[in-house]
């Protein structure tokens, strides 16, 4: 035992790592291969104990979103995304090596595909930041006993499986492991926000998720100093501060934005019931529409929208099938005046002819759902 402890201490100098995005220094005493082996053992144990869902609607949406999030991480792992039947369990988990599980009780709180993406991105964040290996390393340092040595050696003793399952602080010393757990949870939130944005899921959905979680938990939550997780309110506040940086990675197509707002499959008694048709997103009205000529070769269209929008593109169609397209990144307030100019050279002959021109604007609403919209205005140019 003494030799094992001395060997463990001697390895500390060569066991430093750095978490992605946050650049936090970490101490990890187990290799990636050992992490993956332990994660696979623990996942097998959880799968035997819990009831794996066979509902194709649930498994397909988790698998599809999970794979898309994992691809955005750029990390090669033996990724596996599973659904477990427990409608009362509002939770998900991740294990070293890329094993991720979601309980069906999380679906009503996540609400949409983007909400589920926020959860899965958080769990993938745990994996790529090697939080499991970090927690195991903390256990080695704190316990320095036979069970801890077996965990570090990657043995097949049942203690190994219990150690991995406890890698996220399921019972530890207040003031030592629990604060570390909160640090890792916040870090996974931060990493996950970037991952979901890179996968073209609106990161605003993470904010909505934790606001709903806060309402659901209410007064049933334990005091935060006795918890391995930050409070939902604190998490929402942190996400607000991180959103601008995450949004820099968010470049969805209109189809991807619409997909993110799709509701998740129902669970429990509602399972199998037909979902009511979702209301179409409102169409903003183009107000103050007029046109101006800028010399003989340019034509400018003036407009304002009746509600706040994130404008992404515009198209001008004129007589003889004239089409001009422009991509934009503009957030407009309600009734904010804006212009789109048909430039010289866009029209054969260089002079836009008189006739009917149609301005089509495309974008999304700047809310957590991020629903896309299309608005049109016709101009009679003389």
Chain-centroid distance of CA 369 in Å reads 13
Positions of E strands within the chain:
16-18, 25-27, 80-84, 92-95, 99-103, 286-294, 298-305, 309-317, 323-332, 338-342, 355-364, 372-381
Rounded Cα–Cα distance for residues 300 and 268 (Å): 56
Percentages helix, strand, coil for the chain (3-state, rounded to 5) are 45, 20, 35
Phi-psi domain of 354 (left: phi exceeds 0; alpha: psi -120 through 50; beta: other): beta
Q: Is the dihedral of CA 84, 236, 172, 31 positive or negative?
A: positive
Active site residues: 123
Rounded Cα–Cα distance for residues 138 and 181 (Å): 11
329 is written with which tokens? 């990144």
6 is written with which tokens? 């001395």
Rounded Cα–Cα distance for residues 149 and 259 (Å): 47
How close are the terminal C-alpha atoms of the chain, in Å? 93
**3-state SS assignment for residue 130:** coil
């Amino acid at each position: 035992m003494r030799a094992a402890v001395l060997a463990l201490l001697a390895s500390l100098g060569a066991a430093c790592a750095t978490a992605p995005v946050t650049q936090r220094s970490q101490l990890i005493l187990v290799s990636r291969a050992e992490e993956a082996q332990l994660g696979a053992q623990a996942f097998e144990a959880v799968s035997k104990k819990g009831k794996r869902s066979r509902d194709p609607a649930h498994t397909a949406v988790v698998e599809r979103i999970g794979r898309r999030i994992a691809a955005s991480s750029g990390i090669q792992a033996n990724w596996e995304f599973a659904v477990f039947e427990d409608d009362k369990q509002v939770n998900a988990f991740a294990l070293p090596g890329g094993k991720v599980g979601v309980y069906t009780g999380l679906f009503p709180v996540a609400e949409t595909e983007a909400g589920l993406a926020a959860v899965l991105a958080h769990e993938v964040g745990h994996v790529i930041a090697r939080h499991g290996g970090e927690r195991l390393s903390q256990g080695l340092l704190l316990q320095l006993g036979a069970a801890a040595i077996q965990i570090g050696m990657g043995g097949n003793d049942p203690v190994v499986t219990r150690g991995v399952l406890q890698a996220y602080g399921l019972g530890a010393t207040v003031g030592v492991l629990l604060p570390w757990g909160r640090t890792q949870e916040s870090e996974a939130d931060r990493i996950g926000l970037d991952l979901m944005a890179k996968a073209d899921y609106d990161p605003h959905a993470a904010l909505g998720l934790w606001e709903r979680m806060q309402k659901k938990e209410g007064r049933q939550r334990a005091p935060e100093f006795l918890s391995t997780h930050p409070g939902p309110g604190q998490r929402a506040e942190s996400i607000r501060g991180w959103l601008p940086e995450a949004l820099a990675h968010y470049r969805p197509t209109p189809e991807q934005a619409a997909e993110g707002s799709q509701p998740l499959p129902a669970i429990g008694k509602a399972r199998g019931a037909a979902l009511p048709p979702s209301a179409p997103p409102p169409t903003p009205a183009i107000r103050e529409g007029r046109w101006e000529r800028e010399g003989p070769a340019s034509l400018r269209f003036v407009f304002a929208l009746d509600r706040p929008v994130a404008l992404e593109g515009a198209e001008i169609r004129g007589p003889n099938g004239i089409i001009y397209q422009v991509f934009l990144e503009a957030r407009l307030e309600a009734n904010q005046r804006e212009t789109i100019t048909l430039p010289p050279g866009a029209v054969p002959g260089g002079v836009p002819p008189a006739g009917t021109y149609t301005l089509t604007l495309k974008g999304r609403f700047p809310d957590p759902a991020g629903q896309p919209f299309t608005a049109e205005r016709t101009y009679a140019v003389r």
